[in-house]
């Protein structure tokens, strides 16, 4: 169970940074008062689920294998193209031909 300290607002203002460091280091809460009434509570930040996993995972080998085949995207063409442009017969290149009217 963590202990809770009380401090006046003026004293907190004067020592704010060192008090925040103390809360973080000790895990103790701090109640800030104004004219004897509690107005705020400073509590240590909770660790996130991801932060709590820090250091618990180790990579023992490369998880992404290297690409063995050279690949030239500019010259890569499929062997068999089944796509034809609209209006083209299979085997046409798509070059513009003059129409015979």
Asked if 7 contacts 30 with a C-beta cutoff of 8 angstroms, the reply is yes
Query: How many domains does one find in the chain?
Result: 1
Asked if 36 contacts 9 with a C-beta cutoff of 8 angstroms, the reply is no
Q: Determine the structural domain holding residue 40 and report its residue range.
A: 4-45
Confirm whether 80 is domain-assigned.
no
Whole-number pLDDT of residue 17: 96
Q: What is the CATH number of the domain that holds 39?
A: 3.40.1620.10
Confirm whether 60 is domain-assigned.
no
How sure is the predictor about 50, in pLDDT bands with cuts at 50, 70 and 90? confident
Give residue-wise pLDDT tens across range 5-31.
999 999 999 999 999 999 999 999 999
Helix or strand or coil: residue 21? helix
Confirm whether 27 is domain-assigned.
yes
């Amino acid at each position: 169970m963590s202990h809770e300290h009380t401090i006046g607002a003026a004293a907190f203002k004067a020592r704010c940074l060192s008090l925040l460091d103390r809360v973080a280091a000790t895990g103790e809460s701090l109640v800030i008062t104004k004219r004897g009434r509690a107005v705020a509570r400073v509590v240590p930040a909770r660790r996130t689920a991801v932060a709590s996993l820090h250091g618990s995972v180790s990579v023992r080998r490369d998880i992404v294998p290297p690409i063995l085949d050279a690949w030239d995207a500019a010259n890569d063409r499929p062997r068999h193209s089944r796509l034809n442009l609209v209006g083209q017969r299979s085997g046409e290149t798509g070059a513009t031909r003059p129409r015979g009217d």
